[in-house]
Amino acid sequence: MQLLSRDFHPIRRMEVDILEFKVPVENHKTLFVWDIQPNYTEDQVYTGLLTWFGSFGPLHLLKVIPNAAPHPRGFYALLKFYSGVQASTAQRQTDGRPLFQNAPLKVRLSAQRTHFLSDCRRPLSHAHCLELANHCLGFNGWTSDIITLKELTNEEEEEEEEEEEEQVEEGGGRRRRLKFGCLLQLSFPQHGLTTRAAAVVEDSFTCTGPDVLLQNRSRLQKRVRERALVQAFSSVLLILLGAGKVMVELKQTSDQFLPELTAGVLQVNEVSWREVAADEEETADEEWDLTGS
């Protein structure tokens, strides 16, 4: 006869997940939802899905699409979670349930084969970085401080450009080029961790007056701050332990900045204006395979 201690408690298996600040492309993080009834507007469907599926964890993407002929009227939806564990839990607990409508929904994990290597995934946009960090860590769970923000001017290059490229256009404007660099520190006070990153953003434009120059300076300064913060978050790992507990770890990368190496020196990753201006439509080129697993 086997005796059990009065203090014996069954050990629950804790599912741990690791989140990176990169665009999620894995199959096990993507859900498809079918059989959405046509007696709702697209906005109502979006709100209903966001309310239900957002309760399982932060969503990177939620798209509602009307059914195409010859399929019956209605909608289907694509959802991307940052966490594979949360996506799997959401699928199990919502499949076959009506949720916000009268008829049951069909919810499946994506069976699409990913064409991207994990180390080639794109970093999240600035807005998505803020959203994910605030959701997992809270608004007081992290801070960012600008160490250096300055215009990077090469006088010789500027003179050559003025001699070779200066063109008088309609309105008396001429082409100008601006380049800014930013070195930023990202801190997680509750975890005692700090990382640094930097970026450079440049753009050329037609300058027709001081106000145009000022507007472009302001816009580029904002962009380079955002890009440096995105670069800093790219080295951060969020470890979800369940029950709302989150740990933070830092990846060791070649872009890591050490205090003794940054005095008087600004190392940067150069990014053009056009590269940083539009990174929100990362799913536009993906082929959707509407088969579920």
Contacts by 89-93 with C-beta closer than 8 Å and gap 24+?
A: 89/56, 90/31, 90/53, 90/56, 90/57, 91/31, 93/56
Rg (CA), the chain: 24
Query: Domain 24-113: which topology?
Result: Alpha-Beta Plaits (3.30.70)
Give helix 84-94 / helix 42-53 axis angle, nearest 10°: 110
Give me the residue spans of the domains in the chain.
24-113, 123-164+173-277
Topology agreement, domain 24-113 and domain 123-164+173-277: no
- Distance from C-alpha of 158 to C-alpha of 179, rounded to nearest angstrom: 11
Class of domain 123-164+173-277: alpha beta
Run means of pLDDT, 10 residues per run, the chain, 293 residues? 41 74 93 94 96 95 92 93 95 95 94 54 93 93 95 63 48 79 96 95 88 91 96 96 90 54 45 45 46 55
The pTM of the full predicted model, rounded to 2 decimals, is 0.77
Close Cβ partners of 45 (under 8 Å, ≥ 6 residues apart)? 36, 64, 75, 77, 100
Residue 80 β-bridge partners: 30, 61
Cα separation of 121 and 54, whole Å? Answer: 23
